[in-house]
Amino acid sequence: MSNYKVIISGGGTGGHIFPAVSIANEIRHRFPDAEILFIGAEDRMEMERVPAAGYKIIGLPVSGFNRASKLKNFNVLVRLMKSLRMAKKVIRDFKPDIAIGVGGYASGPTLWMASSLQIPVLIQEQNSYAGVTNKLLGKRASRVCVAYRGMGKFFPEDRIVMTGNPVRKDLENIREKDLEALHYFGLEADKPILLILGGSLGARTINQGVRKGLDLLIEAGIQVIWQTGRYYYDSIREELKDLDYKGLWFSDFISRMDYAYAVADLVVSRAGAGTISELCILKKAVILVPSPNVSEDHQTKNARALSDNNAAVLIPDHVAGEQLIPAAIELLGDKEKLQHLSEHIALFAQYNSSERIVDEVIKVIEK
């Protein structure tokens, strides 16, 4: 039987949406007749990204709890109750063989209702520290696919399978793209290249650190590929309009990440689970600056899982403005240390994650 019916739920950030779409693509690749329905949160980015990837999505009015104002949580509870009722109706109408949760607001009510209606549930946990929703749902899940060791403190051990996080297919053969990439960014082959990422919206502290240390980078002869993020691009472009340095390429967004990774000697990045999975597979030396603005500080925990094993350098957000660029310059001058970081981060790589997750999906359905 290959006309499976699958619900995939979650989103809120690219880090949740990308694995969800990768899993859907792998199911569709193996079973072209499978019916796949996404359930997201109605005002989040999945409502645009999922249809763009070719899948139908239904939005729930669910939102996160407001930690600052307890009074505002009355409306959050009203929306949650409405979302549970909507999820129940969708599941009853669609009659899925399985419900897959990838994290994010919508996965809570969807997976809770699915398990209440005796639909098997699979969770894909991207981070090294499980969020509240997934911890609650873990007891109801038939399988929990994880990317880090030691997740038994959050989920029942007998349901955990190590699969890793799906990564973009275009990143698998970057070794062959060096020359194209240098041409694309207008950079030279014989000078070190620093890649700076702050996510699609941007990371204020990372950008401040780079702006403050740009003269030092130029002085050291280091070339820079800098993704400023949408929020910061206009002000940075204005500040740098008179700068004449051919070794700097910057934009609000890097559409050819395969090229950027291909030529980077060192990466500076936030510590989102998806990005870390990519860096492990690509064996890239990295300085991680975890975002302090995420639930339960899970980016710091992701970063520590690497830095405690000499697989990354961790610089806390509150000191990145001062320390980031001097640390990057020092590292780029130490070929041995770069090689050491590259070798250690490679030990955390998990390959073919989408395929391995879908193997588990099929096992759960057939069981």
The angle at the Cα of 342, spanning 341 to 346, to the nearest 5 degrees, equals: 115
Q: Locate the DSSP E strands across the chain.
A: 5-9, 35-41, 56-60, 98-101, 121-125, 143-146, 160-162, 193-196, 223-227, 248-251, 266-269, 286-288, 313-314
Find, among 136, 173, 171, 183, the residue nearest to 155 by Cα.
136
Residue 327: the pLDDT is 97
Has residue 39 got a pLDDT over 90?
A: yes
Residue with tokens 């099929």: 362
The pLDDT tens digits of the residues spanning 113-140 come to: 999 999 999 999 998 888 888 888 999 9
The pLDDT tens digits of the residues spanning 48-88 come to: 889 999 999 999 998 877 766 777 788 888 899 999 999 99
Tell me how long the chain is. 367
Residue 268: the pLDDT is 97
Mean pLDDT estimate for the chain: 91
Find, among 252, 203, 243, the residue nearest to 225 by Cα.
252
Has residue 198 got a pLDDT over 90?
A: no
Has residue 242 got a pLDDT over 90?
A: no
Q: Answer with the residue of higher pLDDT: 169 or 155.
A: 155
Band of the pLDDT at 201, cuts 50, 70, 90?
low
Has residue 13 got a pLDDT over 80?
A: no
Has residue 261 got a pLDDT over 90?
A: yes
Residue 7: the pLDDT is 98
